[in-house]
Amino acid sequence: MNYYSLNKKAPNTSFKEAVIKGLAPDKGLYFPEAITPLSKDFFDSIEQLSNSEIAYETIKQFVLPEIPENELKRIVEDTLSFDFPIVELNKNISSLELFHGPTMAFKDVGARFMARCLGYFNQDNTNEVTVLVATSGDTGGAVANGFLGVKGVNVVILYPSGKVSDIQEKQLTTLGQNITALEVDGVFDDCQDMVKRAFLDEELTSNMQLTSANSINVARWLPQMFYFMFAYKQLKSKYKNIAFSVPSGNFGNICAGMMAQKLGLPIIHFIASNNANNVVTEYLKTKKYNPKPSVQTISNAMDVGNPSNFIRIQEIYKSDFELLQENLSSFSFSDEETKAAMLEIHNNYNYVADPHGAVGYLGAKSYLKNNSNCHCMFLETAHPTKFLDVVEDVIETTVELPEQIKSVIDKEKTSIKIDAYDDLKKYLLRA
């Protein structure tokens, strides 16, 4: 499979080069040249397949032959070393739990897959690769854990000071080894802008091989198709019309779901559930796409004012606004509405949702008002204890810490504070 730049001003390239480079030379996001639907038999018999078999069939056209079949199967098996359970709240709404991995966030899947692909490509390479990543919360911890100790790979994580939860911060600042955390005086968009600027800086790119582990990287983005497939496997025999409500920040997750749909996954609709950062919600209302500075909320991983992956969604639907509207709805919710939803979920269903999952639940409810004949699954993207102060304050109940959180909560934070792009550049040139 070859990939082309969505800026359409760069040569097409291989999966390997797309993973290593992250962005195309014209700074566009890479997109696969073709999407070949899977067979009807695959979906008809999906209940008989293991998660690893499903994932391999889903991803292989985008990776083979650059990673051999047996090696790709090993990477998939190693990536999926945890479960993806569904909890049904009522006949219309379920939670798809994506937080059972090592850092208790949905991004564990993409980060582990990408780390193993990059490790394979770099196994005989004497040159080091620097993975540069901006995080609004969970990406940093997942990437840090996924790449920890990978040969020939250094990871530099930029995160906004004071704008991630304490546990999220511990997960990306306590590992050491080949992981460095840069604490930025600003918001997530400032971190993301610095990363993008670094890829444009010829002095940097001529001195080192930079790549990104944000969802702009095809190896981080595409594996997120897996759990949409896993969810369908679990609900296929119970519900005919299935929709997904996805808490959306940088829009890589929901875009991966749409790719799964292009492969033939029979999903009737997607809901992009936004917090106050509602650029896409407004776009679907007005047909005007107006990125703006991000706003800080209690669902901080979605605090993105200019979602990078929305251009991929437009490519999937060939920039046909009406077609996009047929497949995507979007709703925006305040922090107060999010807190009320967390309390409602706990009181009505004895279920503890994190703030992001609560936004997804609200999106599902909003969609079901006019579509009561479907079953809507919201993605519970992170374990509620990652947002312990907010969750316990809202539901007035103590939430037990899982082992993954206990293992980092008492570790000492190590970060380097930076204020501007020049600080990042100086660090990278010294490193």
Residue 150 pLDDT: 84
pLDDT by residue for the chain (431 residues), tens only, comes to 999 999 999 999 999 999 988 889 898 999 999 999 999 999 999 999 999 999 999 999 999 999 999 999 999 999 999 999 999 999 999 999 999 999 889 999 999 999 999 889 888 777 788 999 998 777 888 888 888 988 888 999 999 999 888 888 998 899 888 999 999 999 888 998 899 899 889 899 888 988 888 788 999 999 999 999 999 999 999 998 999 999 998 899 999 999 999 999 999 999 999 999 999 999 999 999 999 988 889 998 899 889 989 999 999 999 999 999 999 999 999 999 999 999 999 999 999 999 999 999 999 999 999 999 999 999 999 999 988 889 999 999 988 888 888 888 888 899 999 999 999 999 999 87
Q: Quick one: angle between helices 166-173 and 138-147, nearest 10?
A: 30
Residue 5, SS3 per DSSP: strand
Residue 402 pLDDT: 86
Whole-number Å distance between alpha carbons of 420 and 250: 22
Q: Quick one: angle between helices 107-121 and 69-79, nearest 10?
A: 150
Angle at 142 between CA 138 and CA 147, to 5 degrees: 150
| Residue 8 annotated among the catalytic residues of the structure | no
Residue 157 token pair: 């994580």
Residue 161 pLDDT: 93
Half-sphere exposure of 132 (CA within 13 A, CB side): 24
Whole-number Å distance between alpha carbons of 138 and 299: 11
User: From the candidates 21, 107, 163, 233, which is the catalytic residue?
Assistant: 107
Residue 340 pLDDT: 98
Provide the whole-model pTM. Answer: 0.90
> Where do the structural domains in the chain lie, given as residue ranges?
83-104+221-402
Choose the CATH number for 83-104+221-402 among 3.40.50.720, 3.40.50.11890, 3.30.565.10, 3.40.50.1100.
3.40.50.1100
DSSP class of 208? S
